[in-house]
Amino acid sequence: MSGFMTLFSQVLEQLRLAVVNVPGITPLADAPFLFRPLVMVVLLGVVAGVIGVIINLRSAEFSAEAMVHAVFPGIVAGAVYWGINAIIPAASVVAVAAALVLTIVSHRSRRGEASEAGTAVVLTSFFSIGLILSLAKGDMSGQLEALMFGRLLEVTDERLAQAFIVCAIALLLIVATWKEQVAYAFDRTGARASGLRLLALDLVLNTAIAAAVVSASTAVGTLLVIGYLVIPGATARILVSRVRSIVAVAIAVGVGGGYLGMLLMTLPETLDKPISPQATVALVMTAILLLAVGVAAARERLRRVVRQARSARPAPAATTVSSGADTGVASDEAAGAEGAVAPTAEGSRA
């Protein structure tokens, strides 16, 4: 493991030196304590962007929120009993158990309301266990705050390497079942009729969500990670409609939001003020979401105006070609009308 960590640190340092002169990245690449968080948010932006698309298509935001809180006991246990570097390994074990329990509870419930109630019970139970563990060795309020809100600037090479491994597993799970997940999202009944194992797909999705939560726990915290899982996918769904385009936009929002949030840390106006980088990243992504809502509303209004303008445009006059018989009849009628008028006129002169 030490050899792997040495290699990973060397590769990370070489990457930092390679981009240190790139415009826009120089302020973050000058110092390793800023470059490691940048790599972390870019990694989370890619992974959470892909997973977030499936979450949005499946309308599984509440399940993602439950998984975020269900992983909390493992995070607390790792920090309290084995140290902060053991958070990701300990949380990974609890994440697998939480994903299994949440999947079974959601499938055992026959109605949607019962499924949500079971999910809420899992959320509350696991999160309560985490709170009890955090107080088992005395007042851990300081560490509890760090675990809930994260410490992005304190990311080490070891925790970053662990996050890479866990994120790779999450991404592999989603990519391996991508077509099935999309089919499940658009037509649950058809997916079941075609022979897809919905229970297995739910377990894969919940495990991938848990893996993303575990990898982000020490960086952005358990409370703010839900923004990474929900906002990019929701923003992309507002702007585009094709699945491939949604994935591309979601990744761009996740990576761009993380980059802009970190870049705000280097502005002269913020250097002398203590601000939370993970909260800044979440707020930047929220601002992107609101901007997307405004763009979508303006686009829909423009389409409505164009449709109204087209409907109000006068229709072109219809031209008809008369047949010879019709022309003859019309001529006879005109002649008869003239003959009827002419005698009247002569009689009046007499």
| 143 band by pLDDT with thresholds 50, 70 and 90 | low
| Closest to 177 measured CA to CA, from 210, 211, 213, 205 | 205
pLDDT over 60 at 159, yes or no: yes
What is the end-to-end Cα distance of the chain in Å, rounded? 128
Determine which of 113-122, 242-251, 274-283 has the lowest per-residue pLDDT on average: 113-122
Q: How far is CA 124 from the centre of its chain?
A: 24
- Asked if residue 185 lies in contact with residue 58, where contact means CB atoms within 8 angstroms, the answer is yes
259 contacts: CB under 8 Å, gap ≥ 6: 38, 41, 42
pLDDT at res. 316: 63
pLDDT at res. 173: 93
281 contacts: CB under 8 Å, gap ≥ 6: 41, 152, 220, 224, 257, 258, 261, 262
Percent of the chain with pLDDT over 90: 28
How far apart, in whole angstroms, are the C-alpha atoms of residue 240 and residue 230?
16
Burial class (CB in 10 A: 0-12, 13-18, 19+), 294: exposed
Q: What is the average per-residue pLDDT within 13-21?
A: 90
Output the CA torsion sign for 179, 185, 190, 192: positive
pLDDT over 50 at 325, yes or no: no
pTM (2 d.p.): 0.80
Q: How would you label 235-257 residue by residue, b for 16+ Cβ within 10 Å and e otherwise?
A: bbbbbbeebeebbebbbbbbbbb
Determine which of 47-61, 284-298, 333-347 has the lowest per-residue pLDDT on average: 333-347
Q: Is 55 left (phi over 0), alpha (psi -120 to 50) or beta?
A: alpha
SS3 assignment, position 273: coil
